[in-house]
Every structure is written in structure tokens, then in C-alpha cells.
Amino acid sequence: MPILIRREPDQTMTLQLAGTLDTTCVADLERALESARHERTRVVLDCGKLRLMDRPTLQYVADLVDGGVLSLANCPDYVEVWIHRESASANR
């Protein structure tokens, strides 16, 4: 899964995902997040071209959203609902 990294003028790093996001992609996502931490920039995960995400990776993304590590953009409604549902079930 390709991750396109854009550095926005407002000091935001946008990670645009395309295709399938699964556990094999987490290492690439972690490297991008580490770069953002080093640069102290806000991170936005653009899910507009995302087609498929497995449950373990969705739980990982939900943890990042819950922890304030990143926010979502262009996220299909059903994926956003799924992320919030996973977050709620993890907090029980």
C-alpha cells in the first residue's frame, strides 16, 4: 500500500493512503508517524483512496486517533463509524 506524504504549509503532515491497509503496512505508517513526531507536526490520515482495511489495522488506527496522534480526513462514513465502534469496545 503506497503512502503519499504531503507536508502542508500549516505545519501539517498528510499521509494519503491508497489501496489496502493491513498489518503489513503498519511499519511504513509507523516510520511516517515517527518522522512527524521528530518534526513536531500534526498528522492527518487521508483515507479518500483507501479501499480495504483489516480489523487489526483498524484497531491500530483507532488507538492512534484516540491517543490524539492523528486525525482522519476524507474517511468514508462507514470506516469512521467502525473506528469509533472499535474505540468504544476497547474502552470497556
* Residue 92: predicted pLDDT: 62
Q: Where are the domains of the chain?
A: 3-90
Using 50, 70 and 90 to split pLDDT, how confident is the model at 3? confident
Question: pLDDT, tens digit, for every residue of 36-63?
Answer: 889 889 999 999 998 888 999 999 999 9
Nearest one of 72, 12, 78 to 47, comparing CA atoms: 72
φ, ψ (nearest 5 deg) of residue 33: -65, -40
CATH architecture of 3-90: 2-Layer Sandwich (3.30)
Residue 26 has pLDDT above 80, yes or no: yes
Using 50, 70 and 90 to split pLDDT, how confident is the model at 64? very high
Q: What is the three-state SS of 27-67?
A: HHHHHHHHHHHHHCCEEEEEEEEEEEECHHHHHHHHHHHHC
Give the global pTM: 0.84
